[in-house]
Structure 1
Amino acid sequence: MTIRITDVRKIAVGEPGNEHGDTPVIAFFYDITNKSDEGVTANSKWIFAFDAVQDNDPNIVNKLDVAGHPDPATQDTQSAEIKPGGTISNAVAYELTDETTPVELIADDDLGTQTFPIQ
Protein backbone atom coordinates (compact mmCIF):
# COMPACT_ATOMS: atom_id res chain seq x y z
CA MET A 1 0.00 0.00 0.00
CA THR A 2 0.94 3.61 -0.40
CA ILE A 3 -0.43 6.24 1.96
CA ARG A 4 -0.07 9.92 1.08
CA ILE A 5 -1.17 12.44 3.73
CA THR A 6 -3.02 15.27 1.99
CA ASP A 7 -4.00 17.42 4.98
CA VAL A 8 -3.57 17.61 8.76
CA ARG A 9 -5.67 19.84 10.99
CA LYS A 10 -6.77 20.35 14.56
CA ILE A 11 -10.53 20.20 14.99
CA ALA A 12 -12.02 21.80 18.11
CA VAL A 13 -14.93 20.27 20.02
CA GLY A 14 -18.18 21.07 18.23
CA GLU A 15 -16.59 21.93 14.88
CA PRO A 16 -17.43 19.90 11.76
CA GLY A 17 -15.60 16.60 12.03
CA ASN A 18 -15.66 16.66 15.86
CA GLU A 19 -19.30 17.41 16.61
CA HIS A 20 -19.69 14.58 19.13
CA GLY A 21 -16.25 14.53 20.77
CA ASP A 22 -15.32 15.79 24.22
CA THR A 23 -11.74 16.80 23.36
CA PRO A 24 -10.02 18.51 20.42
CA VAL A 25 -8.62 16.12 17.82
CA ILE A 26 -5.90 16.06 15.23
CA ALA A 27 -7.20 14.75 11.91
CA PHE A 28 -5.12 13.22 9.15
CA PHE A 29 -6.63 13.19 5.66
CA TYR A 30 -4.98 10.79 3.23
CA ASP A 31 -5.13 8.87 -0.02
CA ILE A 32 -4.42 5.15 0.11
CA THR A 33 -3.50 2.96 -2.87
CA ASN A 34 -3.72 -0.81 -2.69
CA LYS A 35 -0.53 -2.24 -4.19
CA SER A 36 -1.27 -5.84 -3.20
CA ASP A 37 -3.20 -8.59 -4.93
CA GLU A 38 -5.72 -8.65 -2.08
CA GLY A 39 -8.47 -6.29 -1.02
CA VAL A 40 -7.64 -3.95 1.87
CA THR A 41 -9.57 -1.28 3.74
CA ALA A 42 -8.40 2.29 4.36
CA ASN A 43 -9.12 2.30 8.09
CA SER A 44 -7.58 -1.05 8.95
CA LYS A 45 -4.37 -0.37 7.03
CA TRP A 46 -3.90 3.04 8.70
CA ILE A 47 -4.62 1.75 12.23
CA PHE A 48 -2.21 -1.18 11.80
CA ALA A 49 0.48 0.99 10.18
CA PHE A 50 0.62 4.04 12.50
CA ASP A 51 0.64 5.15 16.12
CA ALA A 52 0.08 8.78 17.09
CA VAL A 53 1.97 9.99 20.16
CA GLN A 54 2.08 13.27 22.10
CA ASP A 55 5.29 13.37 24.14
CA ASN A 56 3.87 15.35 27.05
CA ASP A 57 4.41 12.91 29.91
CA PRO A 58 7.90 12.37 31.37
CA ASN A 59 7.08 8.81 32.46
CA ILE A 60 5.04 7.10 29.76
CA VAL A 61 4.64 6.94 26.01
CA ASN A 62 1.38 8.83 25.44
CA LYS A 63 -0.26 7.00 22.53
CA LEU A 64 -3.35 8.90 21.44
CA ASP A 65 -6.78 7.28 21.23
CA VAL A 66 -8.58 7.15 17.90
CA ALA A 67 -11.52 9.57 17.79
CA GLY A 68 -14.70 9.56 15.73
CA HIS A 69 -14.39 9.70 11.96
CA PRO A 70 -13.70 13.35 11.02
CA ASP A 71 -14.80 13.44 7.38
CA PRO A 72 -18.42 12.83 6.35
CA ALA A 73 -17.34 12.63 2.69
CA THR A 74 -15.32 9.46 3.36
CA GLN A 75 -17.38 7.90 6.15
CA ASP A 76 -19.12 5.42 3.86
CA THR A 77 -15.89 4.21 2.23
CA GLN A 78 -13.60 4.00 5.27
CA SER A 79 -14.29 0.28 5.64
CA ALA A 80 -14.88 -0.50 1.97
CA GLU A 81 -12.56 -3.00 0.32
CA ILE A 82 -10.08 -1.29 -2.01
CA LYS A 83 -9.46 -3.29 -5.17
CA PRO A 84 -5.88 -4.12 -6.17
CA GLY A 85 -4.49 -0.99 -7.84
CA GLY A 86 -7.36 1.15 -6.53
CA THR A 87 -7.02 4.42 -4.60
CA ILE A 88 -9.48 6.11 -2.22
CA SER A 89 -9.40 9.06 0.14
CA ASN A 90 -9.98 8.66 3.87
CA ALA A 91 -9.39 10.37 7.19
CA VAL A 92 -8.63 9.42 10.78
CA ALA A 93 -8.61 11.50 13.96
CA TYR A 94 -6.93 11.15 17.35
CA GLU A 95 -7.95 12.71 20.67
CA LEU A 96 -5.39 15.29 21.76
CA THR A 97 -4.25 15.29 25.38
CA ASP A 98 -3.16 18.93 25.11
CA GLU A 99 -3.31 21.59 22.41
CA THR A 100 0.36 22.59 22.25
CA THR A 101 2.54 19.46 22.20
CA PRO A 102 3.25 18.29 18.62
CA VAL A 103 1.98 14.88 17.53
CA GLU A 104 4.44 12.29 16.29
CA LEU A 105 3.07 9.88 13.71
CA ILE A 106 5.10 6.69 14.02
CA ALA A 107 5.07 4.15 11.18
CA ASP A 108 5.30 0.43 11.93
CA ASP A 109 8.35 -1.66 11.03
CA ASP A 110 10.73 1.23 11.80
CA LEU A 111 9.68 3.07 8.63
CA GLY A 112 10.04 6.40 10.36
CA THR A 113 8.41 9.16 12.34
CA GLN A 114 7.05 12.50 11.30
CA THR A 115 6.14 15.31 13.71
CA PHE A 116 3.09 17.50 13.20
CA PRO A 117 2.68 20.75 15.14
CA ILE A 118 -0.74 21.50 16.62
CA GLN A 119 -2.14 24.49 14.75
Structure 2
Amino acid sequence: MLETRPTHNASNRHSPQSQEQDSHDSGVLNGRAPVITQTGQDVSRAFSDGAQQALDSATRHGCRQALLKANISSCSNRQIHSSHFDQQLQPGSGVTAALLQRHGISVCDENEMDGLLLTKPQP
Protein backbone atom coordinates (compact mmCIF):
# COMPACT_ATOMS: atom_id res chain seq x y z
CA MET A 1 0.00 0.00 0.00
CA LEU A 2 1.28 3.41 -0.94
CA GLU A 3 -0.09 6.38 0.97
CA THR A 4 2.08 9.47 0.82
CA ARG A 5 -0.13 12.49 0.26
CA PRO A 6 -3.29 13.86 1.91
CA THR A 7 -4.97 14.38 -1.46
CA HIS A 8 -7.53 11.60 -1.45
CA ASN A 9 -10.22 13.04 0.79
CA ALA A 10 -13.71 14.21 -0.09
CA SER A 11 -12.59 17.87 -0.04
CA ASN A 12 -10.97 17.53 -3.47
CA ARG A 13 -12.89 17.74 -6.71
CA HIS A 14 -12.10 17.57 -10.37
CA SER A 15 -12.98 20.94 -11.78
CA PRO A 16 -16.02 21.47 -14.02
CA GLN A 17 -13.61 22.00 -16.92
CA SER A 18 -12.36 18.44 -16.55
CA GLN A 19 -15.92 17.16 -16.69
CA GLU A 20 -16.58 18.99 -19.94
CA GLN A 21 -13.22 18.54 -21.67
CA ASP A 22 -11.79 15.20 -20.73
CA SER A 23 -13.35 12.33 -18.86
CA HIS A 24 -12.16 13.65 -15.46
CA ASP A 25 -9.04 11.53 -15.14
CA SER A 26 -7.41 12.18 -18.50
CA GLY A 27 -7.89 15.92 -18.18
CA VAL A 28 -5.88 15.94 -14.98
CA LEU A 29 -3.27 13.53 -16.33
CA ASN A 30 -2.90 15.55 -19.53
CA GLY A 31 -2.61 18.85 -17.65
CA ARG A 32 -5.81 20.29 -19.10
CA ALA A 33 -8.01 20.19 -16.01
CA PRO A 34 -7.17 20.80 -12.34
CA VAL A 35 -8.17 19.10 -9.13
CA ILE A 36 -9.26 21.83 -6.72
CA THR A 37 -9.87 21.74 -2.97
CA GLN A 38 -12.93 23.34 -1.44
CA THR A 39 -10.74 26.27 -0.43
CA GLY A 40 -9.63 26.76 -4.05
CA GLN A 41 -6.17 25.21 -3.83
CA ASP A 42 -5.01 23.43 -6.99
CA VAL A 43 -3.73 19.99 -5.92
CA SER A 44 -3.42 18.56 -9.42
CA ARG A 45 0.33 18.11 -9.17
CA ALA A 46 0.01 16.13 -5.94
CA PHE A 47 -2.62 13.90 -7.57
CA SER A 48 -0.48 13.34 -10.65
CA ASP A 49 2.68 12.75 -8.61
CA GLY A 50 0.88 10.28 -6.34
CA ALA A 51 -0.55 8.45 -9.34
CA GLN A 52 2.92 8.22 -10.87
CA GLN A 53 4.35 6.86 -7.61
CA ALA A 54 1.63 4.21 -7.53
CA LEU A 55 2.36 3.27 -11.16
CA ASP A 56 6.10 3.13 -10.52
CA SER A 57 5.57 0.85 -7.51
CA ALA A 58 3.11 -1.37 -9.38
CA THR A 59 5.49 -1.67 -12.32
CA ARG A 60 8.47 -2.37 -10.09
CA HIS A 61 6.57 -5.20 -8.39
CA GLY A 62 5.00 -6.63 -11.53
CA CYS A 63 1.43 -5.86 -10.48
CA ARG A 64 -1.28 -6.57 -13.01
CA GLN A 65 -4.23 -5.82 -10.75
CA ALA A 66 -4.90 -3.08 -8.21
CA LEU A 67 -7.45 -2.79 -5.42
CA LEU A 68 -8.26 0.87 -4.79
CA LYS A 69 -10.82 2.69 -2.64
CA ALA A 70 -14.22 3.45 -4.17
CA ASN A 71 -15.58 7.00 -4.55
CA ILE A 72 -12.25 8.71 -3.90
CA SER A 73 -10.93 11.47 -6.16
CA SER A 74 -7.65 9.71 -6.85
CA CYS A 75 -8.54 6.04 -6.58
CA SER A 76 -12.08 5.35 -7.69
CA ASN A 77 -12.50 3.33 -10.86
CA ARG A 78 -16.26 3.92 -11.27
CA GLN A 79 -17.47 7.13 -9.60
CA ILE A 80 -15.96 10.31 -8.26
CA HIS A 81 -17.49 13.23 -6.38
CA SER A 82 -18.95 16.03 -8.47
CA SER A 83 -17.13 19.33 -8.71
CA HIS A 84 -19.82 21.07 -6.65
CA PHE A 85 -18.81 19.79 -3.17
CA ASP A 86 -22.35 18.49 -2.72
CA GLN A 87 -21.52 14.85 -1.86
CA GLN A 88 -23.00 13.73 -5.21
CA LEU A 89 -21.24 11.03 -7.17
CA GLN A 90 -20.87 10.96 -10.93
CA PRO A 91 -19.36 8.47 -13.35
CA GLY A 92 -15.61 8.75 -13.69
CA SER A 93 -12.26 7.43 -12.64
CA GLY A 94 -9.78 8.92 -10.24
CA VAL A 95 -6.34 10.01 -11.39
CA THR A 96 -4.46 6.99 -10.01
CA ALA A 97 -7.03 4.50 -11.29
CA ALA A 98 -6.89 6.06 -14.75
CA LEU A 99 -3.10 6.04 -14.92
CA LEU A 100 -2.88 2.41 -13.81
CA GLN A 101 -5.53 1.41 -16.35
CA ARG A 102 -3.72 3.34 -19.07
CA HIS A 103 -0.73 1.11 -18.40
CA GLY A 104 -2.68 -2.14 -18.53
CA ILE A 105 -3.24 -2.66 -14.82
CA SER A 106 -6.74 -3.85 -14.00
CA VAL A 107 -8.35 -1.73 -11.27
CA CYS A 108 -11.23 -2.65 -8.97
CA ASP A 109 -12.58 -1.29 -5.71
CA GLU A 110 -13.56 -2.92 -2.42
CA ASN A 111 -17.05 -3.59 -3.76
CA GLU A 112 -15.57 -5.67 -6.58
CA MET A 113 -13.10 -7.75 -4.59
CA ASP A 114 -14.78 -11.03 -5.44
CA GLY A 115 -14.14 -10.40 -9.11
CA LEU A 116 -10.52 -9.55 -8.41
CA LEU A 117 -10.02 -12.73 -6.45
CA LEU A 118 -11.61 -14.83 -9.17
CA THR A 119 -9.80 -13.19 -12.07
CA LYS A 120 -6.57 -14.68 -13.26
CA PRO A 121 -4.10 -12.01 -14.34
CA GLN A 122 -3.13 -12.03 -17.99
CA PRO A 123 0.57 -12.75 -18.71
TM (normalized to structure 1)?
Answer: 0.30
Larger Rg: 1
Larger strand proportion, structure 1 or 2?
Answer: 1
Larger helix proportion, structure 1 or 2?
Answer: 2
TM (normalized to structure 2)?
Answer: 0.30
RCO comparison, higher one (Cα < 8 Å, 6+):
1
